[in-house]
């Protein structure tokens, strides 16, 4: 995916990468932790959320605000 983005826009490619995992209430906690670790091992920031986790939704909103300011 990153290589495709690089072909489209170098500016976009150079921006920080964040992966947002949704519906995390639907997966096994161990599997979620393994998935998050794989991304973090590649220096990719990961946020996980589900609609019933208001704290996670707030973290996600704040991260977007931070990135857009």
Indicate the number of domains in the chain: 1
Q: Residue 45 falls within a domain, yes or no?
A: yes
DSSP 25: G
Expressed as residue numbers, the domain containing 41 is: 16-68
Q: Residue 6 falls within a domain, yes or no?
A: no
Q: Give the closest residue to 48 by CA, choosing from 58, 56, 40.
A: 56
Paired strand residues for 19:
46
Q: Residue 7 falls within a domain, yes or no?
A: no
Q: Which residues contact 20 (CB under 8 A, 6 or more apart)?
A: 46, 47, 48, 49, 60
pLDDT value for 69: 82
Q: Which residues contact 19 (CB under 8 A, 6 or more apart)?
A: 39, 44, 45, 46, 47
Q: What is the pLDDT along the chain (69 residues), one digit of tens a residue?
A: 788 988 999 888 888 888 999 999 999 999 999 999 999 999 999 999 888 888 989 988 998 899 888
Q: Residue 11 falls within a domain, yes or no?
A: no
Q: Residue 9 falls within a domain, yes or no?
A: no
Q: Residue 21 falls within a domain, yes or no?
A: yes
């Amino acid at each position: 995916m990153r290589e495709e983005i690089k072909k489209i826009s170098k500016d976009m490619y150079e921006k920080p990468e964040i992966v947002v995992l949704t519906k995390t209430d639907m997966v096994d906690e161990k599997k979620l932790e393994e998935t998050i670790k794989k991304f973090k091992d590649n220096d990719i920031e990961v946020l996980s959320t589900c609609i019933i986790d208001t704290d996670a939704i707030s973290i996600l909103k704040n991260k977007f605000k931070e990135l857009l300011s």
